[in-house]
Amino acid sequence: MPKQLRNRLTAAALVLGSFMVAGCSGDDGGLNATPLTIAVTEEENGSGQVGQVGQQLDDELRVVVTRDGEPAADVEVQWVTSDGGSFSPGTSVTDEAGIATTLWTLGPDEGGQTANARLVGATGSPVPFSANALGVPTQPPGGPGGPLSRRAVR
């Protein structure tokens, strides 16, 4: 191989190697990026609520995502349950404070139900939440004397 061609190939390899190293450094999601951490928020996080089967709970579920102890914005958090419930939204994005929220609609079965906030590769993932689902009320909405109740005749 001629010396001039070898020198050009060596220079090209050095430049390409420099771009590869530069692309993997810093806090831009490269190979050296600091891992994310996900946890429940210190204030009300929505766990431990009680609600009716098949109904949306009153309070949002809340998690915080951080990187090096600082809030991480624009990170997608997935919400999952195996109890037949649903979330709105099913995937939420953290705000500037690193907070992601969702509303949980309980599944059809009475008793304890669980949900998880997931962030692939994050320390602390999945974050568990629990709720207690009560059965459908047997009393009609109108209370005693309503259209579905019987009155004693004397």
Q: Give residues with Cβ within 8 angstroms of 44, minimum separation 6.
A: 59, 62
Residue 103, number of CB atoms within 10 A of its CB: 17
Q: What is the pLDDT of residue 102?
A: 99
Model pLDDT for residues 131-145, shown as the tens digit of each residue: 999 997 555 555 565
* Residue pLDDT tens, the chain, 154 long: 666 655 555 555 444 444 433 343 344 455 567 899 999 998 899 999 999 999 999 999 999 999 999 999 999 999 999 999 999 999 999 999 999 999 999 999 999 999 999 999 999 999 999 999 999 755 555 556 555 555 566 6
Q: Give residues with Cβ within 8 angstroms of 77, minimum separation 6.
A: 38, 63, 65, 91, 92, 93, 94, 100, 117, 118, 119
Q: What is the pLDDT of residue 43?
A: 84
pTM: 0.69
Backbone angles phi, psi at 139, to 5 degrees: -80, 130
Q: Could you give the angle at the alpha carbon of 123 between the alpha carbons of 114 and 112, nearest 5°?
A: 10
